[in-house]
């Protein structure tokens, strides 16, 4: 089970990761000042893009700075488990808020509710 | 009982419950990851609440976001990414067994982290002057410019200048919306908890530096540096999400 | 409500029978499994009891078939329970259209109930038998819970939100009304009774309560005294025909002007601005009690309610769609044009109750 | 002849070094890093905390003898049940099995010398003790009256009791839990003896593993929720306060995201104990080892998806109500697998009805009742009627007291000889188990009836027609109190006067018994090497060797 060697990552890789992170940061800033929602005629484009970039940054940090790329399966499992659980919390909470009959749709007479 | 860390003379200090240093190392790494998993949910619950309210009060949250100095947040993101890099280098130094490298890079990390905290403190100060701190002085009417003090006022002017240069939406005049308070509350709670993590991190780094100076670490034994590195990178990741969530809500 | 010893509650509403039937079903299922497991455990431990300290039983292989059996049988029973229970639950969430509405405000530690015809009661609720009653509930302070065990209904009452609950009593008498959510020192004193009467008796009870003016009338007085009238009709949208109409909002969405929306418009007007208007309406948060807000809402309702035909989008949408995301095509033309609307004669000559009951 | 391990007591060398005689000073206990001693420290602490909460239970029961309430004021009653719930949950039942038996047994069951992080383990106990002192301070300053659920906005803006300090205590307590869970996870992953594959792990370790995952992943959410609550309370601004745009139901979501999984923290360890005791007392391999092992994980996982069943009446969307309901039903399936597996483990076994086994028989029956009523509560239409009535109170006491506490007591009896080296009196043990069983049912069964009749929870006074049931319940509690008091006496008595138990009085196959009782500080003289599946009572071992599981 125990891998009997230590993995050493070269500093060159760290420099390139840092560069990539900085570029992504720049991209985040640029994206924030372009109204994508207007450009693409839809909601949430800006927000989604910002989140996606943040996820990319996080993945870079996790894989290289935190050495998960070279780590055992157990580490992979633990690193992802936390996010899976966060997704549970998020999904089921919003499953409630997202399907609430509008602030109070409840007072609407029921003949309006049943098609 | 040979419970304690074996003294410096011993090249491979292994605590008595472990069979060998690999087991020890894997255990501490896994322990750190488990701890980070709890941290993910710790911050995660905050993000969930934040997202909910942001969804409920999009306008107020956007206005609140416009009150923040996004460029300071941006600089801070860069600073923090840099500190993460320094930390990675410190771990690298540890893995090649260089105590002096550990010390050098940890000091660098601390310095960069201090810059981050300094900028953060400046931001807090500006927000205080702008009467944005809930429970302390949040007011629906932004204070007039002459009451702001030189620093805050010049940041305000810079803001407007930048907004025109970038053709970005400036902070609207007129009263703040009541739910902006909720935004500011989240902003302060989240950034303060994040900053607390950094301060704890700096304290631990000081201990690590002290240990490195006593030559505790070697190519074979440097778990503490490595595990701390994980923690520090995690704190960085949190900020990577905080920054766009709090500072960049520019579009409806 | 009788103080006699019972082991099973009275069935005093339509819903009670539904709930009890399901309860009985699950009770029998539970009995079966409890006796099965207890029986097997006792039987095995006596039959195979250890006779000598050196006994070593032989290995018995695991039977996958048996395992599947005790997965499959409970699972299928629970599927039945799920659909049955879900049906009752959803049914409980949907008051019939012809229900009589009563507004309820919970506060530490009393219930204030308001009949549309006027009578206001504290901790006692008079209702006619055989008629669906819809309660619109809110709380002035903390979370309470309005529960009537003999009707098998219960609903948390949440500050800042209107929730509903409905029942149809099938039997006259007096029944317990409990606050079921812990709400502070006198939580256990936040109790009362529901008095179910024959319709005729109810009518005469109503008539004996002339001292209370109808909510809409109090509301109209508040409308004057709080200065609503100074804006509404001139600088602000007219409120006639607003109730249950689709309102177009500043941010481009639409919403149904239900009770919740009206309440929000009064206590937090800035949250949802009517299209074409600025945030000039002051908030009345903290200045009006929840009952006064109910009065104002009853008044606004008495100014006429929009009916189905004005909301083409809504009826087709089905229950799951949030109206605010629906295409905008049914809102009040008056509001869109931002002009004083051509009023239909205000409902002052009609009783608000009749308004409410319009098919 | 006999294939099962058996070492007569007299073979035990008398002047052996054990973890107990490794030091007699107070310091040697308070600074110990030995998982066994820390387990004992915990046992003492949680027993004291149980007594605090039990006195509160006695106050509750005495008050409810009369419809008007016998305590002077409702405020006293409200503080009593709040304290009872809070202390029972966070200072007794959540830590009960994990920190005592778990601490003691996990390293021994996996053939390790200690947990992975002994210092962290000690730190957990200190955090726990500090938090216990904090909650006792709350009690001394005048208590707290929010109910153990802290629903906002009552707890944040209305209650004028010591909510903030309580919340701080739970926060500290939470970190103690997190560290314990972390320690167990790492230990089970990394410290297993050679040959001890995952499927040779004792089922207790599987259960503790699942429990630890909950500790680690659920507790932080509670921690941050309580921080937000404290912020709201101290600063008087609303994260959950509707008057300021906040949402009180969000609090409930976050709270139950932790607090539903926490009920499985309470019951999973008992499931683990049951798997050990039942296999040993029947001298059989479990009926479906893998099914039991994986059902622990399944319960843990599904347990995270069902929290909304506490909120069916709270104003959540009916559609998410449906989702939470079906998920709650789903959790009953792995539980059913466990119950039936234990039942069929007894089939053609050699069943000894010793005290631990009596507790397990009681546990299986009572937990099944509690679980099935839980399923009733998970049924949407029924919960609307039964929510926040004594039906719920009865449900959770059946699973927590009839299930988890019985499991804890059974486990303590079963491993008592290992922990102390002494045998308690079987005679008194059986009597106490019987009294406890009778008292328990008399206390809580009437609560089901009055719950369905509509008797609300957390009522200081109540309409007189419920009095009969309350009187029965109080009578039952008095009997139950005896059932709890007796073990305290005869177990302590056995410390001094009990006969030596010998290393393996139950003639178990599992690893922790293959070393002297009480064990030496290092647990095993040599790191054992495992070459057999667990619970292989039926496997013939050469000459009935003392430790067939271990080959070196
Ligand atoms: C140890 C603690 C524990 C455990 C294990 C459980 C187990 C379960 N609980 Fe319980 N519960 C609590 C502790 C616990 N609960 C507490 C403390 C509260 C109150 C909180 C408060 O408000 O203060 C509560 C409240 C509670 C509620 C909310 C009630 C309300 O407030 O309105 C609900 C609703 O769904 C519920 C459901 C369940 C279910 C479905 C299970 C299931 O896991 C049970 C599964 C087990 C079985 C089903 C038995 C074995 C199976 C068989 C024999 C097979 C046959 C089965 C069928 C055919 C169904 N519980
Ligand atoms: C681990 C969990 C645990 C345990 C072990 C217990 C154990 C007991 N509980 Fe507890 N209980 C809870 C967890 C637990 N409870 C929780 C979470 C709540 C919800 C709180 C809330 O609503 O916020 C609750 C609430 C609760 C209520 C409901 C209060 C209300 O809603 O108004 C009642 C009422 O009977 C009760 C009774 C008991 C009894 C009789 C015992 C018995 O098992 C205890 C046995 C001990 C004794 C009886 C005391 C010791 C004996 C003496 C001091 C001698 C004298 C005794 C008498 C004369 C009676 N509990
Ligand atoms: Cu109101 Cu309890
Ligand atoms: Cu639950």
Q: If you take atom 60 of ligand 2, which residue's CA is the nearest one?
A: D57
> Which atom of ligand 2 is closest in space to residue D480's alpha carbon?
45
**What is the arithmetic mean of pLDDT over B150-168?**
84
Query: What mean pLDDT is reported for chain B?
Result: 86
Ligand at shortest distance from the CA of C183: 3
DSSP designation for A100: S
Query: Given CB atoms, is D317 within the 8 Å cutoff of chain A?
Result: yes
Listed residue (D239, D270, D262) closest to D148, CA to CA: D262
Residues D425-440: what's their mean pLDDT? 95
Q: Ligand 3: which residue has its CA nearest to atom 1?
A: C144
**Whose Cα sits closest to atom 49 in ligand 2?**
D54
Query: Is residue B10 pLDDT above 50, yes or no?
Result: no
pLDDT for residue B177: 80
Residue length of chain D: 552
Least distant ligand from the CA of D54? 2
pLDDT at A43 over 70: no
The atom of ligand 2 lying closest to the CA of D474 is: 59
Q: How far is CA C70 from CA D115, D334, D335, D341, D367, in A?
A: 37, 10, 11, 10, 17
> Which atom of ligand 3 is least distant from the CA of C179?
2
Residue B12 has pLDDT above 70, yes or no: no
Question: Is the pLDDT reported for residue D541 higher than 60?
Answer: no
Q: Closest by alpha carbon to B134, among D254, D160, D241?
A: D241
**Ligand showing the shortest atom-to-Cα distance for residue D367:** 1
Q: Confirm or reject: Cβ of D478 under 6 Å from ligand 2.
A: yes
Task: Report residue D360's pLDDT band, with 50, 70 and 90 as the boundaries.
Answer: very high
> Does A92 contact D318 at a Cβ distance shorter than 8 Å?
no
Which chains touch D (3+ CB pairs under 8 A)?
A: A, B, C
Provide mean pLDDT across the span B64-92.
Answer: 92
Provide the token pair at B174: 């007129």
Q: Is C139 in the pocket of ligand 3 (CB under 6 A)?
A: no
pLDDT, residue C288, reads 86
Q: Is the model's pLDDT at C345 over the cut of 60? A: no
Q: Is the ipTM of this complex over 0.95?
A: no
Do B177 and C270 count as a contact with CB atoms less than 8 A apart? yes
| Interface contact flag, B53 D247, Cβ < 8 Å | yes
pTM here? Answer: 0.90
Rounded to the nearest angstrom, the minimum Cα separation between D373 and chain C is: 8
Q: Give the chain D residue whose CA is nearest to the CA of B45.
A: D221
User: Which residues lie near ion ligand 4 (Cβ < 5 Å)?
Assistant: D 260
Q: Which residues of chain A neighbour B248 with C-beta distances below 8 Å?
A: 28-29, 32, 50
Name the packing angle between helices A11-32 and B70-95 (round to 10°). 170
Q: Could you give the percent of chain D with pLDDT greater than 70?
A: 95
pLDDT tens per residue across span C220-257: 888 888 888 888 877 788 887 788 788 888 777 778 88
Q: What is the pLDDT of residues A97-106, one digit of tens each?
A: 888 775 344 3
Determine the Cα–Cα distance for residues C306 and C258; give it in Å rounded to an integer.
10
Question: C42-83 pLDDT, tens per residue?
Answer: 999 999 998 888 878 888 888 889 989 999 999 999 999 999
Nearest to C142 among D154, D381, D462 (CB): D154
- Please say whether the beta carbons of D89 and D43 come within 8 A: no
Please tell me whether residue D132 adopts helix, strand or coil conformation: helix
Question: Where residue A3 falls among pLDDT bands split at 50, 70, 90?
Answer: very low
Strand pairing class (C246-248; C192-197): unpaired
Chain B residue numbers with beta carbons less than 8 Å from the beta carbon of D178 are 35, 38
How many other CB atoms sit within 10 Å of the CB of residue A52? 12
Going by pLDDT thresholds of 50, 70 and 90, the confidence category of residue C326 is very low
**Residues C191-220: what's their mean pLDDT?**
87
Contact state of C251 with B252 under an 8 Å Cβ cutoff: yes
Compute the distance between CA of residue D166 and CA of residue D170 in angstroms, rounded to an integer.
6
Q: Are C161 and A102 in contact (CB < 8 Å)?
A: no
Please report the pLDDT score of residue D6 as a whole number: 52
Query: Confidence band (pLDDT; 50, 70, 90) for C3?
Result: low
Distance (angstroms) between ligand 3 centre and the Cα of C107 equals: 8
Tell me which residue has its CA closest to atom 47 in ligand 1. Answer: D371
- pLDDT at position C250 is 78
- Ligand at minimal distance from the CA of C107 is 3
CB D147 within 8 A of CB D185: no
How do residues D36-66 score in pLDDT, each as one tens digit?
999 999 999 999 999 999 999 999 999 999 9
pLDDT surpasses 60 at A108: no
Q: Which residues of D touch B189 (CB under 8 A)?
A: 227-228, 231
Confidence of residue C341 (pLDDT cuts 50, 70, 90): very low
Span B115-131, mean pLDDT?
A: 93
Q: Which residues contact B151 (CB under 8 A, 6 or more apart)?
A: B122, B125, B126, B129
Report the percent of chain B where pLDDT is more than 70.
94
A84 and chain B in contact, CB less than 8 A: no
Q: Please write the tens of the pLDDT for every residue from D452-481.
A: 999 999 999 999 999 999 999 999 999 999
For residue C106, the ligand 3 atom closest to its alpha carbon is 1
CB spacing of B30 vs D217 below 8 angstroms: no
How long, in residues, is chain A?
115
Average confidence (pLDDT) over D91-119? 93
- Ligand 3 neighbourhood includes C107 CB (under 6 angstroms): no
For residue B110, what are the contacts with CB-CB under 8 A and spacing of at least 6?
B202, B205, B206
Q: D438 CA distance to ligand 4 centroid (A)?
A: 26
Cis upstream peptide for D155 (omega within 30°):
no
Q: Would you say the CB of residue C181 lies under 6 angstroms from ligand 3?
A: yes
Q: Note the pLDDT of residue D135.
A: 96
Cα separation, A17 vs A58, in Å, equals: 11
Cα separation, C143 vs D157, in Å, equals 12
Taking the C-alpha atoms of residue D156 and residue D146, their distance in angstroms, rounded to an integer, is 9
Task: Determine the average pLDDT of the residues in D432-444.
Answer: 95
The residue-averaged pLDDT of D104-132 equals 94
Ligand 2 mean position, distance from CA D146 (Å): 16
Q: At what angle do helices B223-247 and A11-32 cross, to 10 degrees?
A: 10
Asked whether residue D283 carries a pLDDT value surpassing 70, the answer given is yes
More confident residue, D349 or C34: C34
Per residue in D293-318, pLDDT (tens digit) is: 999 999 999 999 999 999 999 989 99
Structure tokens of B156? 């305000």
- Would the CB of D480 count as within 6 Å of ligand 2? yes
Q: Whose CA is nearest to atom 44 of ligand 2?
A: D54
For residues C21 and C34, what is the distance between their CA atoms, to the nearest angstrom? Answer: 20
With CA atoms as reference, the chain C residue closest to A99 would be C320
Residues of D in contact with B39 (CB under 8 A): 220
Among the bound ligands, the one closest to the CA of C156 = 3
Residue contact C261–A103, C-beta within 8 A = yes
Indicate the residue of C5, C93, C188 with minimum beta-carbon distance to D465: C5
Q: Distance between CA D517 and CA D169 in Å, rounded?
A: 36
CA distance D387 to D325: 14
Q: Is the pLDDT of residue C203 over 70?
A: yes
Please give the distance, rounded to the nearest whole angstrom, from the Cα atom of residue D239 to the centre of ligand 1.
30
Best interface-test mutation with C: which of B140, B177, B183 has the largest number of C CBs within 10 A?
Answer: B177
Cα–Cα distance measured from residue B35 to residue A26, given in angstroms and rounded to the nearest whole number: 31
Give contacts of C324 with chain A, Cβ < 8 Å.
102
pLDDT tens by residue, B165-224: 887 777 777 788 878 888 999 999 999 999 999 999 999 999 999 999 988 888 888 889
**Which residues is C165 bridged to in the sheet?**
C135
Predicted confidence (pLDDT) at residue A32 exceeds the cutoff of 70? yes
| pLDDT for residue A6 | 58
Given A81, A85, A99, which is nearest D320 (Cβ)? A99
CB contact under 8 A, D114 and B16: yes
CB within 8 Å: A32 and B244? yes
Q: Do A61 and B41 touch (CB under 8 A)?
A: no
Q: Does any ligand 3 atom lie closer than 6 A to the CB of residue C248?
A: no
Q: Does C320 touch chain A (CB under 8 A)?
A: yes
What average pLDDT score do residues D79-87 get?
95
Please calculate the CA angle D147-D153-D154 and round it to the nearest 5 degrees.
40
List the subunits that have 3+ CB pairs under 8 angstroms with C.
Answer: A, B, D
Are the CB atoms for D550 and D514 separated by under 8 Å? Answer: yes
- Is A60 an 8 Å CB contact of chain B? no
CA D57 – ligand 2 centroid, Å: 4
A74 and D189: CB-CB below 8 Å?
yes
A96–D217 CB contact, under 8 Å? no
Average pLDDT for chain D: 90
pLDDT at B202: 96
Q: How many CB atoms are located within 10 Å of the residue D165 CB?
A: 16
Q: Choose between D544 and C18: higher pLDDT.
A: C18
Q: Give CA–CA dist D400/D249, Å, rounded.
A: 26
């Amino acid at each position: 089970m125990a891998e009997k060697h230590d993995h050493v990552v070269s500093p060159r890789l760290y420099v390139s990761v840092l560069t990539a992170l900085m570029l992504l940061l720049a991209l985040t800033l640029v994206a924030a000042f372009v109204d994508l929602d207007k450009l693409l005629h839809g909601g949430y484009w800006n927000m989604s893009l910002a989140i996606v970039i943040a996820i990319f940054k996080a993945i870079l940090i996790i894989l290289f700075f935190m050495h998960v790329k070279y780590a055992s399966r157990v580490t992979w499992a633990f690193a992802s488990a936390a996010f899976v659980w966060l997704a549970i919390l998020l999904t089921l909470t919003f499953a409630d808020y997202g399907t609430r009959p509008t602030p109070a749709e409840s007072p609407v007479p029921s003949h309006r509710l049943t098609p | 009982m040979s419970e304690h860390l074996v003294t410096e003379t011993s090249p491979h200090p292994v605590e008595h419950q472990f069979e060998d240093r690999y087991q020890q190392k894997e255990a501490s790494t896994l322990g750190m990851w488990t701890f980070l998993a709890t941290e993910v949910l710790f911050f995660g619950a905050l993000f969930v609440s934040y997202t909910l309210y942001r969804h409920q009060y999009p306008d107020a949250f956007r206005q609140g976001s416009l009150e923040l100095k996004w460029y300071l947040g941006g600089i801070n993101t860069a600073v923090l990414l840099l500190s993460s890099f320094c930390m990675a280098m410190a771990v690298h130094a540890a893995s090649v067994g260089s105590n002096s490298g550990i010390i050098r890079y940890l000091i660098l990390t601390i310095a960069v982290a201090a810059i981050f905290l300094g900028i953060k403190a400046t931001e807090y100060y500006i927000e205080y002057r702008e009467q944005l701190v809930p429970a302390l002085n949040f007011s629906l009417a932004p204070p007039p410019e002459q009451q702001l003090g030189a620093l805050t006022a010049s940041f305000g002017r810079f803001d407007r200048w930048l907004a025109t240069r970038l053709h970005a939406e400036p902070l609207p005049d007129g009263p703040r919306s009541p739910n902006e308070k909720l935004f500011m509350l989240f902003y302060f709670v989240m950034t303060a908890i994040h900053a607390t993590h950094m301060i704890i991190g700096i304290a631990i780094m000081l201990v690590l530096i002290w240990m490195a100076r006593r030559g505790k670490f070697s190519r074979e034994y440097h778990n503490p540096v490595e595990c701390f590195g994980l923690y520090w990178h995690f704190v960085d990741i949190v900020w990577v999400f905080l920054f766009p969530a709090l500072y960049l809500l520019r579009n409806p | 409500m009788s103080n006699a010893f019972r082991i099973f509650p009275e069935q005093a509403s339509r819903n009670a029978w539904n709930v009890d039937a399901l309860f009985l079903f699950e009770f029998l299922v539970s009995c079966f499994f409890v006796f099965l497991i207890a029986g097997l455990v006792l039987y095995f431990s006596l039959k195979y009891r250890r006779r000598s300290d050196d006994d070593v039983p032989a290995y018995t292989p695991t039977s996958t078939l048996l395992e599947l059996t005790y997965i499959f049988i409970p699972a299928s029973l629970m599927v039945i329970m799920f659909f049955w229970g879900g049906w009752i639950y959803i049914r409980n969430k949907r008051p019939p259209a012809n229900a009589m509405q009563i507004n309820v405000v919970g506060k530490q530690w009393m219930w204030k109930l308001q009949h549309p015809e006027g009578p206001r009661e504290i901790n006692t609720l008079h209702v006619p038998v055989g008629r669906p009653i819809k309660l619109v509930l809110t709380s002035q302070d903390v979370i309470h819970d309005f529960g009537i065990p003999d009707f098998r209904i219960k609903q948390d009452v949440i500050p800042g939100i209107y929730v509903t609950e409905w029942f149809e009593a099938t039997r006259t008498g007096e029944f317990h009304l409990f606050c079921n959510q812990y709400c502070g020192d006198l939580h256990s004193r936040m109790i009362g009774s529901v008095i179910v009467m024959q319709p005729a008796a109810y009518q005469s009870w109503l008539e004996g309560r002339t001292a209370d003016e109808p909510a809409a009338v109090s509301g109209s007085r508040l409308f004057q005294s709080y200065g609503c009238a100074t804006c509404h009709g001139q600088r602000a949208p007219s409120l006639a025909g607003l109730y249950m109409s689709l309102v177009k909002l500043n941010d481009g969405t639409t919403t149904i002007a239900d009770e919740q929306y009206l309440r929000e418009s009064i206590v937090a007007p800035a949250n949802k601005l009517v299209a074409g208007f600025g945030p000039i309406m002051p908030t009345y948060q903290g200045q009006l009690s929840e009952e006064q807000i109910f009065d104002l809402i009853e008044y606004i309702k008495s100014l006429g309610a929009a009916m189905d035909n004005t909301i083409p989008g809504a009826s087709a949408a089905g229950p799951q769609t949030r109206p605010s995301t629906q295409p905008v095509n049914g809102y009040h033309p008056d509001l869109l044009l931002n002009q004083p609307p051509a009023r239909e004669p205000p409902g002052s000559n009609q009783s608000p109750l009749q308004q409410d009951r319009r098919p | 002849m006999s294939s099962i391990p058996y070492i007569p007591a007299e073979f035990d060398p008398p002047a052996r070094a054990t973890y107990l005689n490794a030091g007699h000073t107070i310091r040697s206990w308070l600074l110990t890093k030995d998982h066994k001693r820390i387990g004992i420290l915990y046992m003492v602490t949680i027993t004291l905390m149980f007594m605090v909460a039990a006195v509160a239970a006695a106050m509750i029961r005495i008050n409810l003898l009369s419809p008007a309430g016998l305590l002077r004021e409702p405020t006293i009653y409200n503080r009593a049940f709040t304290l009872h719930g809070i202390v029972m949950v966070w200072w007794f039942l959540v830590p009960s099995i994990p920190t005592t038996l778990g601490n003691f047994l996990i390293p021994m069951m996996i053939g390790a010398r200690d947990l992975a992080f002994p210092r962290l383990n000690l730190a957990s106990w200190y955090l726990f003790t500090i938090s216990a002192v904090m909650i006792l301070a709350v009690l001394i300053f005048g208590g707290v009256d929010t109910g153990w659920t802290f629903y906002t906005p009552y707890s944040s803006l209305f209650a004028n009791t010591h909510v903030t300090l309580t919340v701080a205590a739970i926060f500290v307590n939470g970190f103690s839990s997190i560290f314990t869970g972390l320690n167990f996870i790492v230990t089970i992953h990394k410290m297993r003896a050679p040959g001890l594959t995952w499927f040779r792990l004792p089922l207790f370790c599987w259960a503790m593993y699942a429990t630890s995952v909950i500790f680690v992943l659920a507790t932080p959410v509670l921690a941050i929720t309580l921080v937000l609550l404290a912020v709201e309370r101290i600063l008087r601004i609303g994260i959950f306060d509707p008057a300021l745009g906040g949402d009180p139901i969000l609090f409930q979501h976050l709270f139950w995201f932790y607090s539903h999984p926490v009920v499985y923290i309470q019951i999973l360890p008992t499931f683990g104990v049951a798997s050990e005791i039942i296999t040993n007392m029947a001298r059989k391999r479990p009926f479906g080892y893998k099914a039991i092992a994986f059902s622990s994980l399944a319960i843990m996982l599904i347990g995270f998806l069902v929290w909304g069943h506490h909120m069916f009446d709270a104003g959540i969307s009916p559609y998410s109500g449906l989702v939470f309901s079906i998920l709650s039903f789903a959790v009953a399936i792995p539980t059913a697998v466990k119950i039936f597996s234990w039942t069929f483990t007894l089939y053609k076994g050699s069943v000894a009805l010793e005290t631990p086994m009596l507790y397990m028989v009681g546990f299986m029956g009572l937990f099944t009742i509690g679980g099935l009523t839980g399923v009733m509560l998970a049924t949407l239409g029924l919960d609307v009627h039964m929510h926040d009535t004594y039906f719920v109170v009865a449900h959770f006491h059946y699973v927590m007291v009839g299930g988890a506490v019985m499991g804890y007591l059974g486990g303590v009896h079963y491993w008592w000889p290992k922990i102390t080296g002494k045998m308690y009196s079987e005679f008194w043990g059986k009597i106490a188990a019987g009294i406890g069983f009778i008292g328990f049912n008399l206390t809580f069964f009437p609560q089901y009836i009055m719950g369905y009749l509509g008797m609300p929870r957390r009522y200081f006074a109540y309409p007189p027609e419920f009095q009969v049931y309350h009187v029965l319940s109080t009578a039952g509690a008095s009997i139950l109190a005896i059932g709890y008091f007796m073990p305290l006496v005869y177990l302590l008595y056995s410390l001094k006067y009990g006969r030596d138990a010998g290393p393996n009085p139950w003639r178990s196959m599992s690893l922790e018994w293959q070393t002297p009782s009480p064990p030496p500080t290092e647990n095993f003289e040599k790191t054992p090497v495992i070459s057999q599946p667990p619970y292989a009572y039926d496997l013939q071992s050469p000459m009935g060797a003392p430790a067939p599981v271990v080959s070196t």
